[in-house]
């Protein structure tokens, strides 16, 4: 499975796995959406361009997830499509989604922010990349 | 290093002696069973907190403590600025000043019974709740800054409630020292249309019945009688607080080496109180406290208007409003000497005892109401601060039951629809925009609240006054 949730008593751990760093970040974003709703039911109607930088890959993941949380909050959107490239400490992305429709999306909980808890970005022994942290709900 | 809590002469107090980098001990308030249910991460996090510069007394965990980030949820710690003390964004949490307010309705169970379903439907329609919901007003830059400085007092000026409400809110509804300019444009943007919204997750508006009185004198002082109908509102500073938490957590991590802080883990991000970043966070965090107080005030007025449409004889009077996630500047005794401290309470309630000068005249002789939120199907409690509590955990008590099970486990075990039907059989009406959200918040996903309250009472942190049974719950 390219994304999954992991155990945390009060909040939710999200994990993305991919053949590249960017793919792992995109899958972590899908895991983030899956906290709120079924990612499969979100259509990519409105696109947003993002550019982010951070000191290291872990803080870049923190910035990435928080940027998505921010965009969804202020635009009242759910995001469902994540295309991104990472070069050094710089991430550029085109993400897309649609306005929250409670009748269709049945959103269950808001995500307040990504946290530094269990924050990890690393290459695994099998060569795949892993990007994870706990998000506060 | 053994972080196993040791028993003390009090069966409700456990202690981890200072070791490694710990400057003070860690104290955990719990009975043996609650202690056994606590994740070992609680003890690890508490030991880390005990190693922070300028910490006073001990690092404390309330009986509902569980694994958080940096600080455990249910963690209390105080720092002295003049001793190099720090302030920590993780020690306050993302939902700054999330808390509970409880109101009398002047109704009894019989009066509510005839209109219960109608009231539930009306509240569900009129109280904005759930992901993406918006409130009744949209703030521009000027009104946003006024709200961040003015808190609930600002909301009252805008027509939401009365000045009588303010007396029954911590700091009379407005915390001093808020600096709206320290709140980022992004945080303000996130809040523009969120004033007067409940949010989601464990936030709720609940109609409750006073089911049992434990302390007749204190209950009388609070104006509570068995069978009374109350309203409790649980929510916080919404997107603004979340964004402030997010931004300052990252800023404190980045600045830690500059401040000579060696963090045992990054989540314990903090800054010296006497530093530009520390002061900046204090100004922003206090603005977020005011935002939460204003938000609960607006929701109160929306609730009053909903009641007026269904039960016109109801008169909603505020009993008290407390916050759970704050850092407050307070005076406490440390080694019998009064000291001004920055007290972090993350998932903990301030619990001033009788006679405290900050309590309003109507409550000063009794003590501060401590409002403990339930979880849809389980009881809520009202406790009262005690004189003895002042010598323990800087006048702090627990804040709720605390989760015992992850959301995923809960949603696997329960179905929202079935849960709502089961609760309805018990006389509890649930209204929520999300069935899955209801399942994730199932009462069974929380610790046994009665046991948590018993531990808080027996440890002397606060004293039981009344137990409340839920009747209607509007979930975010």
Query: What does the pLDDT look like over A43-74, one tens digit per residue?
Result: 999 999 999 999 999 999 999 999 999 999 99
Write the pLDDT tens digit of every residue in B28-71. Answer: 999 999 999 998 999 999 999 999 999 999 999 999 999 888 89
From A3's Cα to the closest Cα of chain B, the distance in A is 15
Checking if the pLDDT of A109 tops 70, the result is: yes
Q: Give the mean model confidence (pLDDT) for residues B10-20.
A: 97
Q: Which residues of A touch B269 (CB under 8 A)?
A: 116
Q: Give the mean model confidence (pLDDT) for residues B456-460.
A: 97
DSSP code of A46?
E
Q: Coil, strand or helix: which one is B333?
A: strand
For A106, which residue in chain B has the nearest alpha carbon? B434
Question: Does B203 qualify as catalytic in the annotation?
Answer: no
Residue B334, pLDDT score: 94
Question: Which member of A10, A59, A109 has the closest CB to residue B403?
Answer: A10
Q: b vs e for B178-215, b when ≥16 Cβ sit within 10 Å of the residue's Cβ?
A: bbbebbbebbbbbbbbbbbbbbbbbbbbbbbbbbebbb
DSSP string spanning B234-273? Answer: EE--HHHHHHHHHHHHHHHHHHTTTTT---SSGGG-EEET
- Strands B99-108, B228-235: pairing is antiparallel
Which residue, among B270, B289, B51, B39, has the nearest Cα to B152 in the 3D structure? B289
Q: Which residues of A touch B414 (CB under 8 A)?
A: none
Which residue, among B345, B264, B87, has the nearest Cα to A116 in the 3D structure? B264
Give the tokens for residue B435: 């069935």
Testing the interface with A: which of B69, B412, B445, B447 to mutate, by most A Cβ within 10 A?
B69
Does the distance separating the beta carbons of B66 and A9 come in below 8 Å? yes
Give the pLDDT band of residue B330 (cuts 50, 70, 90): very high
Q: Give the mean model confidence (pLDDT) for residues B118-135.
A: 94
Instruction: Give yes or no for a contact between B385 and B366, defined as CB atoms under 8 angstroms apart.
Output: no
Q: Which residues of B touch A100 (CB under 8 A)?
A: 131-132
Structure-token match 């959107």, residue found: A77
For B245, which residue in chain A has the nearest alpha carbon? A113
Does the distance separating the beta carbons of B433 and A115 come in below 8 Å? no
Q: Coil, strand or helix: which one is B2?
A: coil
- Number of Cα atoms under 13 Å in the Cβ half of residue B190: 31
Testing the interface with B: which of A62, A77, A112, A120 to mutate, by most B Cβ within 10 A?
A112
Does the distance separating the beta carbons of B245 and A36 come in below 8 Å? no
Testing the interface with A: which of B65, B131, B269, B440 to mutate, by most A Cβ within 10 A?
B131
Q: What is the mean pLDDT of chain A?
A: 95
Checking if the pLDDT of A8 tops 80, the result is: no
Q: Give the mean model confidence (pLDDT) for residues B401-412.
A: 84
Residue B1, pLDDT score: 67
Q: Which residues of A touch B130 (CB under 8 A)?
A: 102, 107
Structure-token match 């975010």, residue found: B476
Does the distance separating the beta carbons of A109 and B131 come in below 8 Å? yes
Give the pLDDT band of residue B389 (cuts 50, 70, 90): confident
- CB count within 10 Å of CB A53 equals 12
Which residue, among B70, B88, B36, has the nearest Cα to A134 in the 3D structure? B70
Q: Residue B315: phi, psi to the nearest 5?
A: -130, 105
* Cα–Cα distance measured from residue B62 to residue B449, given in angstroms and rounded to the nearest whole number: 13
Q: Which residues of A touch B239 (CB under 8 A)?
A: 73-74
Residue B409, pLDDT score: 87
* Crossing angle of helices A57-75 and B238-255, rounded to 10°: 160
From A48's Cα to the closest Cα of chain B, the distance in A is 16
Checking if the pLDDT of A1 tops 80, the result is: no
Q: Which residues of A touch B403 (CB under 8 A)?
A: 9-10
Percentage with pLDDT > 90 across chain A: 91
* Cα–Cα distance measured from residue A35 to residue B91, given in angstroms and rounded to the nearest whole number: 24
* Cα–Cα distance measured from residue B47 to residue B25, given in angstroms and rounded to the nearest whole number: 8
Q: Angle at Cα B344 formed by Cα B343 and Cα B347, nearest 5°? A: 135
Q: Give the mean model confidence (pLDDT) for residues B295-320.
A: 98
ipTM of the complex: 0.93
Q: Give the mean model confidence (pLDDT) for residues A4-19.
A: 90
DSSP code of B72?
P
- CB count within 10 Å of CB B421 equals 11
Does the distance separating the beta carbons of B134 and A116 come in below 8 Å? no
Q: Coil, strand or helix: which one is B189?
A: helix
DSSP code of B461?
S
* Cα–Cα distance measured from residue A62 to residue B251, given in angstroms and rounded to the nearest whole number: 12
* Cα–Cα distance measured from residue A110 to residue A98, given in angstroms and rounded to the nearest whole number: 16
Checking if the pLDDT of A102 tops 90, the result is: no
Residue B450, pLDDT score: 92
Residue B202, pLDDT score: 87
In total, the C-beta contacts within 8 angstroms joining chain A to chain B are 115
Q: Which of A6-20, A84-98, B79-93, B217-231 has the lowest mean pLDDT?
A: A6-20
Q: What is the mean pLDDT of chain B?
A: 95
* Cα–Cα distance measured from residue A32 to residue A111, given in angstroms and rounded to the nearest whole number: 8
* Cα–Cα distance measured from residue B194 to residue B128, given in angstroms and rounded to the nearest whole number: 9
């Amino acid at each position: 499975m390219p994304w999954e949730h992991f155990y945390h008593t009060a909040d939710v751990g999200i994990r993305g796995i991919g053949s590249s760093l960017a793919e792992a970040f995109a899958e972590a974003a899908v895991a983030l959406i899956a906290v709120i709703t079924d990612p499969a039911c979100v259509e990519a109607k409105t696109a947003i361009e993002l550019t982010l930088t951070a000191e290291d890959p872990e803080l870049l993941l923190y910035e990435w997830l928080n940027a998505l949380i921010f965009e969804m909050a202020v635009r009242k959107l759910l995001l469902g499509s994540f295309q991104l490239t990472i070069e050094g400490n710089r991430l550029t992305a085109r993400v897309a989604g649609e306005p929250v429709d409670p009748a269709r999306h049945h959103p269950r909980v808001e995500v307040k922010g990504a946290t530094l808890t269990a924050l990890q970005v690393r290459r695994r022994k099998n060569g795949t990349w892993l990007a994870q942290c706990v998000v506060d709900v | 290093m053994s972080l196993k809590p040791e028993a003390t002469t009090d069966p409700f107090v456990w202690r981890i002696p200072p070791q490694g980098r710990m400057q003070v001990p860690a104290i955990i308030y719990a009975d043996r069973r609650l202690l056994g249910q606590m994740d070992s991460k609680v003890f690890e996090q508490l030991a880390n907190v005990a190693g922070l510069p300028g910490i006073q007394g001990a690092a404390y965990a309330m009986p509902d403590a569980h694994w958080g980030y940096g600080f455990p949820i249910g963690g209390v710690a105080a720092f002295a600025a003049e001793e190099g003390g720090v302030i920590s964004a993780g020690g306050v949490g993302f939902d700054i000043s999330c808390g509970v307010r409880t109101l009398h309705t002047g109704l009894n169970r019989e009066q509510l019974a005839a209109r219960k379903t109608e009231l539930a439907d009306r509240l569900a329609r009129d109280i904005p709740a759930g992901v993406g919901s918006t409130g009744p007003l949209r703030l521009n830059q000027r009104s946003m800054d006024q709200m961040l400085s003015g808190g609930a007092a600002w909301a009252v000026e805008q027509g939401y409630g009365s000045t009588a409400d303010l007396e029954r809110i911590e700091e009379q509804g407005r915390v001093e020292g808020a600096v709206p300019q320290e709140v980022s444009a992004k945080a303000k943007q996130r809040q523009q249309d969120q004033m007067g919204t409940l949010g989601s997750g464990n936030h709720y508006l609940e109609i409750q019945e006073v089911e049992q009185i434990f302390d007749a004198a204190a209950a009388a002082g609070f104006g509570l009688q068995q069978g009374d109908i109350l309203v409790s509102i649980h929510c916080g500073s919404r997107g603004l607080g979340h964004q402030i938490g997010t931004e300052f957590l990252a800023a404190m991590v980045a600045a830690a080496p500059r401040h000579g802080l060696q963090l045992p883990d990054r989540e314990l991000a903090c800054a010296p109180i006497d530093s530009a970043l520390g002061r900046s966070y204090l100004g922003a965090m206090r603005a977020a406290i005011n935002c939460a107080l204003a938000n609960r005030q607006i929701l109160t007025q929306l609730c009053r208007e909903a009641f007026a449409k269904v039960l016109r004889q109801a008169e909603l009077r505020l009993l008290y409003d407390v916050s759970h996630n704050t850092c407050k500047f307070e005076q406490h005794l440390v080694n019998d000497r009064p000291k001004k401290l920055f007290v972090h309470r993350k998932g903990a309630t301030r619990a001033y005892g009788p006679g405290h000068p900050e309590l309003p005249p109507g409550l000063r002789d009794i003590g501060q109401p401590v409002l403990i939120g339930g979880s849809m199907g389980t009881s809520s409690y009202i406790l009262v601060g005690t004189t003895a509590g002042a010598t323990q955990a800087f006048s702090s008590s627990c804040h709720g039951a605390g989760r015992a099970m992850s959301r995923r486990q809960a949603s696997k075990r329960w179905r929202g629809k079935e849960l709502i039907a089961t609760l309805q059989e018990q006389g509890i009406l649930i209204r929520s925009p999300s069935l899955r959200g209801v399942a994730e918040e199932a009462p069974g996903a929380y610790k046994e609240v009665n046991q948590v309250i018993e531990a808080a009472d027996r440890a002397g942190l606060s004293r039981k006054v009344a137990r409340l049974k839920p009747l209607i719950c509007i979930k975010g």
